[in-house]
Amino acid sequence: METIEHIKQMEKTLNQGEKSLSQTLANLEEIQQNLDHYQTLFAYYQSPEWFEHFVLDEQGKLPVDLPRGVLSEDGIYNFLATYVSLADKLKEVSDKMSQKLDELRPKD
């Protein structure tokens, strides 16, 4: 019976892993396609243009129905913090995955 349970557990791990890796690859492809847009957003946040737009919003000179999350002081900053955190996490996970692969390789 131990054999059956082990096979079931390995099957579950395979199925979950395939799903997780597939979703992660799709998300990474989307992020990769948008990297230039993100850099443009971060540059905008540090520009005089962003501050001018922020002041216009504070003065009530922008249309009321205009989405303006980009002008909140925390919106882009929080996005940038998440971006940096994700970059660090990706590097950490990549290193661990490489190490685990090295452990599987036959020793000479």
Average pLDDT over residues 5-26: 98
CA 65/CA 57 separation, integer angstroms: 12
Q: Quick one: pLDDT at residue 18?
A: 98
Is it the case that residue 106 has pLDDT exceeding 90? no
CA 28/CA 25 separation, integer angstroms: 5
Amino acid at the residue 97: M
Is it the case that residue 105 has pLDDT exceeding 90? no
Q: Quick one: pLDDT at residue 20?
A: 98
Q: Quick one: pLDDT at residue 104?
A: 86
Would you list the DSSP string of 8-46? HHHHHHHHHHHHHHHHHHHHHHHHHHHHHHHHHHHHHHT
Q: Quick one: pLDDT at residue 98?
A: 94
CA 108/CA 9 separation, integer angstroms: 31
The residue among 65 and 1 whose pLDDT is bigger is 65
CA 5/CA 20 separation, integer angstroms: 22
Where are the chain's structural domains? 2-104
> Mind listing the pLDDT tens digit for each residue in 21-56?
999 999 999 999 999 999 999 999 999 999 999 999
The residue among 16 and 104 whose pLDDT is bigger is 16
CA 108/CA 99 separation, integer angstroms: 17
Average pLDDT over residues 2-10: 97
DSSP state of 72: S
pLDDT band at 100; cut points 50, 70, 90: very high
